[in-house]
Chain A
Amino acid sequence: MRWLTVTSVLVLAIVLAGHRVVLAQQSGELVSVLRPGPLPGADPFDPAWDGAPAVDIPLGPQAMAVPSLLKLSIPTVRVRSVNNGQEVAFLLEWSDDTRDDLVVAGDQFRDAAAIQFPVGQELPNICMGSAGQLVNIWYWKADWQRDIDLGYQELLQQYPNFFKDFYPGGISGSPPYTYPEDFDRPEVRQFQVGWAAGNPFSIPRRSSPIEELKAVGFGSLTHKDRQTVSGRGVWRDGKWRVVFVRRLAAPDGESVDLRRDQVPVAFAVWNGSNQEVGARKQLSGFYTLRIQGQERILGIPRDYLPAGLAVVVVLLGVGVGLLLRRRIPGRREDGRGG
């Protein structure tokens, strides 16, 4: 195991070193461009994305923790970002010949992509943060997307001719089925244990294909109480394009606040047909994302600059006024004396 750890560190060091080179070459290129008006959120193929600068981020196999990915299957992810001063959108695009968006069979795994931000000011461990250094992860999953596009995916989508005599509660096991509707009774749902336990993977009604998570290190990944990231992923011609949208302002203390001109960001991609899941993934190092419109001038956010300037002008005016009032009597005194 020890040699594995050493190898892992070396591999990651090489990956990160590579990133540093790329970062140096591409300094300032990962930018969320400011574009007032509605964001191109619902359609990953919206031509509005074409104008946004694209950066190819190299990915390396996760080899810091066990289980690890030994063989890279997706070498780069192309990232674009726009914001309108209120919301920010990211477009992740990568090549994948197979669309893996069904995980009903025991040997099926999903395609997925995630964006990771540190919540605090310090740069945490790339692998899901560390104790006291919370990270916020936005995690899009191809099967969740299919649930939203086509309805909750379950046995019949994998095995259309499957049938069973009956299920608890006297539910017929012959098609046509209605899942989850027929099964949404306590005496039946208790056999859908993950659903009854409230596991986000098992709840058969979804509002977003993107799950928001928090983590403080390996094994600590946890579904957030508040889910605020929306988006959509589409597979076309051997490519996934996935959009993530959220307000710039943090919805809670466990989320990244993007009302900053610079924020570290990292990316990860999973290829389901390569049995990639969980820690078996390819990831990038941390990159600096510049968010246009959130620049600070003299430490003041650009948004606050007009108001700030107004305050400064008013203060200056008051100051000058006071100075003048103080000087006028002085003059009088001087006049009297003179």
Chain B
Amino acid sequence: MPKVFNWQINREMEYPYPASPPERQFAAVFDINKCIACQTCTLACKQAWTSGRGQEHMFWNNVETKPYGSYPLAWDVKLLEMLGPQTWEGDTYTGKTIFEAAPPGQVALGFLPEDLDWAHPGLGEDEVYGVVEGGAYFGIPHQVWFFYLQRICNHCTYPACLAACPRRAIYKRREDGIVLVDQTRCRGYRECVRACPYKKVFYNGVTRISEKCIACFPRVEQGLQPFCTVNCIGRIRINGWVHSPDKADPENPVDFLVHIRKVALPLYPQFGLQVNIYYIPPVHVPVKFLQQMFGPRVERAIETYRNAPNDPELRGVLMLMGATDRWVEKFRVRGDYVYGYDGAGNELVRVPLKEPIYIRPVYDRQFAVYRHNIT
């Protein structure tokens, strides 16, 4: 089996195909701290792509509550248990990836969910970890906690779905690294469903073939961010092209968050897929739990994120999130504003680093009403 380099585990690993990086790579950063699980992203995606017959159970985008939520049921804990101990030495993963742990006769370690595992997308929602004891008070991390995890296809650099398809019906686009299931070649074997550790390929029982998140490629091709990003009312998401660490561009907002400030981390890097959706970890959750999900850089990431008030550039990129439906390729902070630009250098958006505050009287004489403390 060929060896490829996976920077997220800081070592070479086995993968069925030699490395063949696309010209540019679709990526996104989700700030977990800002999500309220309103599921507007989920519905935007559903409305756009999966309202057909046979797609009822499909959420190409879903938001689940951690630690108890999971869709499909137990997708992550089941695989974590199958994979066994996952050890790190510094930034280097010393355990096995799902390719290295592949059982005989399979490309990757994985499992096929049972059909009813797809039937409870809201299970565990808002359930906290721990019990509120007498005398409890708020601190960081919280004694009792939960957080929301926003999930779409990771459009991986080393996709397990693609590797597992014996027909090569799954392909990674050279122009943007988006991973697609060819709807004319798929024969519904579900090897991809079995192999994808994130369980983001879905079997359609009416068309009897499999489907997955298409990264809203018709929008990306027009310089627009996907529906899940632009519909996010919490403005937690930003899309962009991500580079490998050695080619990181400090003016590219995604590169800046991932490689320069290192506040955005991959989900379950130990699986070995070199994912392209990154998360800013929640600051209120015990680090030990987060390390299992986002790898050994969690503590540094949280520290850097909490320093954002003193870091105008970081603040700038965070303010660019959800500020435009266009694809921001460059950003620059000048004075009190952050500017977003397209690939040609045209200004797309300008956002103040600090939103102005207006103080108005409690009683509005014109409308004869009292104003409450709302924004």
Q: What is A's interface to B at a CB cutoff of 8 Å?
A: 1, 4, 7, 63, 65-70, 103-108, 143, 154-155, 158, 162, 164, 167-168, 179, 183, 188, 191-199, 201-202, 218-219, 221, 275, 277-279
Q: Are B208 and A201 in contact (CB under 8 A)?
A: yes
Q: Are A155 and B51 in contact (CB under 8 A)?
A: no
A107 to B112, CA, bound (A): 7
A103 to B335, CA, bound (A): 61
A336 to chain B, nearest CB (A): 85
Count the A-B residue pairs with Cβ separation under 8 angstroms: how many? 127
User: Can you list the 9 inter-chain pairs with the closest CB atoms, starting with the nearest?
Assistant: A191-B52, A194-B207, A104-B205, A202-B207, A105-B115, A68-B105, A278-B189, A197-B183, A106-B203
A110 to chain B, nearest CB (A): 9
Neighbouring A residues of B166 by C-beta, 8 Å? 65-67, 218-219, 278-279
Q: Are A167 and B52 in contact (CB under 8 A)?
A: yes
Of B53-61, B152-160, B218-226, B361-369, the one with at least 4 CB within 8 A of chain A: B53-61
Neighbouring B residues of A103 by C-beta, 8 Å? 188, 205, 208
Neighbouring A residues of B54 by C-beta, 8 Å? 154-155, 192
Q: Are A199 and B206 in contact (CB under 8 A)?
A: no
What are 12 pairs between A and B in contact, CB < 8 Å?
A4-B105, A65-B166, A66-B107, A67-B164, A192-B207, A193-B52, A193-B207, A194-B204, A201-B188, A218-B166, A277-B190, A278-B189
Looking at A105, A107, A167, A275, the one whose CB has the most chain B CB atoms below 10 A away is A107
Q: Are B118 and A67 in contact (CB under 8 A)?
A: no
Q: Are B105 and A199 in contact (CB under 8 A)?
A: no
A7 to B102, CA, bound (A): 16
A206 to chain B, nearest CB (A): 12
Q: Are B205 and A105 in contact (CB under 8 A)?
A: yes
Q: Are A201 and B184 in contact (CB under 8 A)?
A: no
Q: Which residue of chain B lies nearest to A222 when distances are taken between CB atoms in the complex?
A: B185
Neighbouring B residues of A183 by C-beta, 8 Å? 53
Q: Please tell me if B114 contacts chain A, counting CB pairs below 8 Å.
A: yes
Q: Are B207 and A201 in contact (CB under 8 A)?
A: yes
A199 to B166, CA, bound (A): 17
Neighbouring B residues of A275 by C-beta, 8 Å? 112
User: Which listed residue (A69, A162, A197, A201) contacts B187, Cβ 8 A?
Assistant: A201
Neighbouring A residues of B1 by C-beta, 8 Å? 1
Neighbouring B residues of A218 by C-beta, 8 Å? 166
Q: Which residue of chain B lies nearest to A4 when distances are taken between CB atoms in the complex?
A: B104
Q: Are A107 and B52 in contact (CB under 8 A)?
A: no
Q: Are B53 and A277 in contact (CB under 8 A)?
A: no
Q: Are A194 and B208 in contact (CB under 8 A)?
A: yes
Q: Are B206 and A154 in contact (CB under 8 A)?
A: yes
Contact (A198, B184) CB under 8 Å given A168-B51, A191-B53: yes
Q: Are A67 and B107 in contact (CB under 8 A)?
A: yes
A17 to chain B, nearest CB (A): 21
Q: Are A108 and B115 in contact (CB under 8 A)?
A: yes
B104 to chain A, nearest CB (A): 5
Interface residues in B139-176 (C-beta closer than 8 Å to A): 164, 166-168
Q: Are B207 and A107 in contact (CB under 8 A)?
A: no
Q: Please tell me if B349 contacts chain A, counting CB pairs below 8 Å.
A: no
Q: Please tell me if B186 contacts chain A, counting CB pairs below 8 Å.
A: yes
| Residue-wise interface mask of B (191-222) relative to A, using a CB-CB cutoff of 8 A (1 in contact, 0 not) | 10100000000111111110100000000000
Contact (A164, B56) CB under 8 Å given A66-B106, A66-B166, A106-B190: yes
Neighbouring B residues of A107 by C-beta, 8 Å? 112-115
Q: Are B107 and A195 in contact (CB under 8 A)?
A: no
Looking at A164, A198, A201, the one whose CB has the most chain B CB atoms below 10 A away is A201
| Residue-wise interface mask of B (89-113) relative to A, using a CB-CB cutoff of 8 A (1 in contact, 0 not) | 0000000000000101111000011
Contact (A219, B168) CB under 8 Å given A194-B208, A194-B209: yes
Q: Are B207 and A199 in contact (CB under 8 A)?
A: yes
Q: Are A277 and B189 in contact (CB under 8 A)?
A: yes
Neighbouring B residues of A194 by C-beta, 8 Å? 183, 186, 204, 207-209
Contact (A179, B105) CB under 8 Å given A106-B190, A278-B189: no
Neighbouring B residues of A106 by C-beta, 8 Å? 57, 112-115, 118, 190, 193, 202-203, 205
Q: Are A199 and B168 in contact (CB under 8 A)?
A: no
| Residue-wise interface mask of B (12-32) relative to A, using a CB-CB cutoff of 8 A (1 in contact, 0 not) | 001000000000000000000
